[in-house]
Structure 1
């Protein structure tokens, strides 16, 4: 029997058993015009943007993106991680507003929405239209550390 569906499997951790599985890895291709660039003055030279979460705000008619930034030396992350924010009217061209929430290198003119953390991973943003404007957006993210019970989720 042949499966009619395609699956993206990056890690065998959660796979209990495989049968007649053929793993095929395609070479990555760098797009000449990425959606989000590491081009703001507050970004590090070798910074990587990942763990991206985008939602469309129908009230404001605006795409909103939250993403994690971290230094990258080609082998492993070696610097602090922060979550940042960007907006777009069309989902293609993105602006990084200067939010003034956290100081980095002596300036708060940046788009960071969290302070720096040693370990920070996937973030998810939810919009709660029933809450007051100041508490309408909720962020859930995980952090980690060296202890055996390292996973911590924050809301």
Structure 2
């Protein structure tokens, strides 16, 4: 744990750095999904906080999974779908999503995607992008189809009634 600010470690540009392929729980690179490591630091003896930029090519998906801790997602670009607690929510630029540690969830690009879907992922604890421990797959439930217009599962309607 550090209580000192170190600009070399604590200022990271996630738009200019080179992306790396993310690893799945089996250690194999995930198809169509890259990430750029942002700033991270130990905030307690065994707990790291950090943020990464995730870039999902059209047609790619994080299957249903859990994490060692909770995280926040912030959509930078394009539209996608997050599946949480059995419901799909359409998400887009500016949306923030809190996912509690115990909830299995999946994220995928929108079916009509023509450009990469980009997110910032803030995690506590933070796990390196290439770590197979970053997520644990939950095989019970596949991601459902995109919610259609007027569906209660659309983010704006679910959030704003």
Q: What interval of TM-score do these two structures reach, taking the shorter chain for normalisation?
A: under 0.3
Q: Higher Cα Rg: structure 1 or 2?
A: 1
Q: Which fold has the larger relative contact order, with Cα–Cα distance below 8 Å and residues 6 or more apart in sequence?
A: 2
Q: Which has the higher helix share?
A: 2
